[in-house]
Amino acid sequence: MTEHAHLLVVDDDARLRALLQRFLTEQGFRVSTAGDANEARAALKSLAFDLIVLDVMMPGETGLELVDSLRRGRDEVPVLMLTARGDPDDRVAGFEAGADDYLAKPFDPRELAHRIRTILRRAAVPVAAPTGGPVQLGPRWFDPDRNELRGPEGSIRLTGGEAALLAALAKRAGEVLSREDIAEALGTPDAGERAVDVQVTRLRRKIEADPREPRFLHTIRHKGYVLRPGS
């Protein structure tokens, strides 16, 4: 469910913050705002948010630095990054930091609302019919019906993007998925090949004992990626 989700909009442009707060509220979201990373951290300490809309270029701590810090602190709240610089290198930097999606300014507010809903749906526990049970990845198990990865150490936290990627690969285990297939499954068809590679690299850190020598998530040269479950 995406209705009444609580969003935190972080941008140093007061006019844009006000516009986004008004528009997103009209779209049915609850919206809080922050003018910089310090205000965002204070808000995150006192309130729980379903998603952060985060500007990249802010004075002081940048959006990239903030999301990287959140991920290193194991905070997996979904993050949609906004930036005035939309070239592929900037988009990849956002995904490398741990963002779930990336939208270049200027943008249509309706596209922003659509992407927010896509991320929130992706982060929610799916209600589809069972897919055949958990997928074994060595000592870990992925339950595609709950988007949950577990191991001897207990539940392993996944970002919404990581869970969506693993679910897409698990659904078609043993089948090579192109980067375009993966981008579509992630709801980010314009992300680009390098951004998909970054998401795969992040997922490998969660499921592989040695991400440099993967046992389960393999690269197929010139074709894409394939998940090969096993004990």
Q: Where in the chain is the domain with CATH 1.10.10.10?
A: 135-227
Cβ distance 50 to 33 under 8 Å?
no
- Given this model, what pLDDT does residue 127 score? 37
Percentage of the chain modeled with pLDDT above 70: 93
Closest CA to 208 of 148, 138, 146: 138
Q: In the CATH scheme, what is the code of domain 6-123? A: 3.40.50.2300
152 vs 123: which has the higher pLDDT = 152
Taking 60 as the threshold, does the pLDDT of residue 97 lie above it?
Answer: yes
| Extended strands (E) in 109-182 | 135-137, 140-143, 148-151, 154-156
In angstroms, the CA 143 to CA 140 distance is 10
94: tokens are: 């956002």
Band (129; pLDDT cuts 50, 70, 90)? very low
Determine the 3-state secondary structure of 179 from DSSP: helix
Sign of CA dihedral 98, 100, 102, 108: negative
pLDDT tens digits along 54-85: 999 999 999 999 999 998 888 889 999 998 87
Between the alpha carbon of residue 201 and those of residues 35, 92, 162, 218, the distances in Å are 32, 12, 10, 11
Q: Where in the chain is the domain with CATH 3.40.50.2300?
A: 6-123
- Given this model, what pLDDT does residue 102 score? 87
Buried b (16+ CB within 10 A) or exposed e, 116-126: bbbbbebbeee
- Given this model, what pLDDT does residue 130 score? 40
In angstroms, the CA 22 to CA 37 distance is 21
Closest CA to 172 of 226, 209, 223: 226
7: tokens are: 């969003």
Helix, strand, coil shares, percent, the chain, to 5:
40, 20, 40
In angstroms, the CA 43 to CA 28 distance is 20
- Given this model, what pLDDT does residue 89 score? 75
Residues whose CB is less than 8 angstroms from the CB of residue 223 and which lie 6 or more positions away in sequence, other chains included: 176, 178
Band (185; pLDDT cuts 50, 70, 90)? confident
- Given this model, what pLDDT does residue 2 score? 61
- Given this model, what pLDDT does residue 21 score? 96
The architecture (CATH level 2) of 135-227 comes to: Orthogonal Bundle (1.10)
- Given this model, what pLDDT does residue 196 score? 86
Taking 50 as the threshold, does the pLDDT of residue 188 lie above it?
Answer: yes
In angstroms, the CA 176 to CA 163 distance is 18
- Reported pTM: 0.68
Residue in the structure block whose two tokens are 């970002």: 159
Determine the 3-state secondary structure of 230 from DSSP: strand
